[in-house]
Amino acid sequence: MRFIILSLGALIVGTAACVSGISGSNAAVSDGADPSATPRRTKAVREITYTDAEFDGKEVLMTDAEWKKILTPVEYTMMREAGTETPFSGAYFNNHEDGVYYCAACGLVLFRSENKFDSGTGWPSFYQPAFKKNVIEKVDRSLDEVRTEVLCARCHAHLGHVFDDGPQPTGLRYCINSPALRFKKAEAPE
């Protein structure tokens, strides 16, 4: 499947201060979750191929300069510098539509709406990925605690973290940043 995505590169008025001068896992930025808001500028249209299958082992390898050309500043901060969006600000934390969540950088399927739940944390939360092989988990010691970082298996984009306080059947809570995701709504049955 191929789709054309207009990558919104601008921060919504009032959020620019959240981004300037911060990066890394302690960074908090808003992704301008209000879809009706008007961005200040946009990046060029880019094509993303959405992949609905289990990761095939073929990685997307790009330099930081190449990622900066195609990702918005917020996406770059989240996915390449391990930033964190402000809780309750993201486009998908309160999304209850049926559909599929893909990596915003490379289009690999990551999560499905039937595995999403309201964790009360302010971030989109899932109790399991679409395919276990589509995410990588690694130890994150960037704060005073040890956490488990979640990355896209294909492009190694930072997605968020996974915790062991989720619902059954897995007991896991994948806490994911909205700017790291693209949502494709399920098509209505005919």
Secondary structure, 3-state, 26-83: CCEECCCCCCCCCCCCCCCEEEEECECCCCCCCCCCCCHHHHHHHCCHHHHHHHHHCC
Total structural domains within the chain: 1
Question: Cα separation of 16 and 109, whole Å?
Answer: 30
Task: Please tell me the predicted confidence (pLDDT) of residue 45.
Answer: 53
Question: Cα separation of 78 and 73, whole Å?
Answer: 9
Q: 60 in a domain, yes or no?
A: yes
- Give the chain's residues under pLDDT 50: 1-42
Alpha-carbon distances, residue 115 vs 10, 130, 132 (angstroms): 30, 8, 13
Indicate which residues carry an active-site annotation.
Answer: 175
Task: Please tell me the predicted confidence (pLDDT) of residue 29.
Answer: 38
Task: Please tell me the predicted confidence (pLDDT) of residue 181.
Answer: 97
Q: 77 in a domain, yes or no?
A: yes
pTM confidence score: 0.77
Q: 115 in a domain, yes or no?
A: yes
CATH number for position 80: 2.170.150.20
Q: 15 in a domain, yes or no?
A: yes
Task: Please tell me the predicted confidence (pLDDT) of residue 6.
Answer: 35
Q: 109 in a domain, yes or no?
A: yes
Question: Cα separation of 3 and 17, whole Å?
Answer: 32
φ/ψ of 56, rounded to 5, equals -95, 0
Task: Please tell me the predicted confidence (pLDDT) of residue 189.
Answer: 77
Task: Please tell me the predicted confidence (pLDDT) of residue 54.
Answer: 96
What does the chain come to in residues?
190
Task: Please tell me the predicted confidence (pLDDT) of residue 167.
Answer: 97
- Domain hosting 97: range is 2-185
User: Helix, strand or coil for residue 179?
Assistant: helix
Q: 81 in a domain, yes or no?
A: yes
Task: Please tell me the predicted confidence (pLDDT) of residue 4.
Answer: 36
Task: Please tell me the predicted confidence (pLDDT) of residue 142.
Answer: 87
Q: 190 in a domain, yes or no?
A: no
Contact criterion met (CB below 8 Å) for 180 and 98: no
- Going by C-alpha positions, the residue among 32, 50, 172 that lies closest to residue 109 is 50
Q: 138 in a domain, yes or no?
A: yes
Task: Please tell me the predicted confidence (pLDDT) of residue 117.
Answer: 97
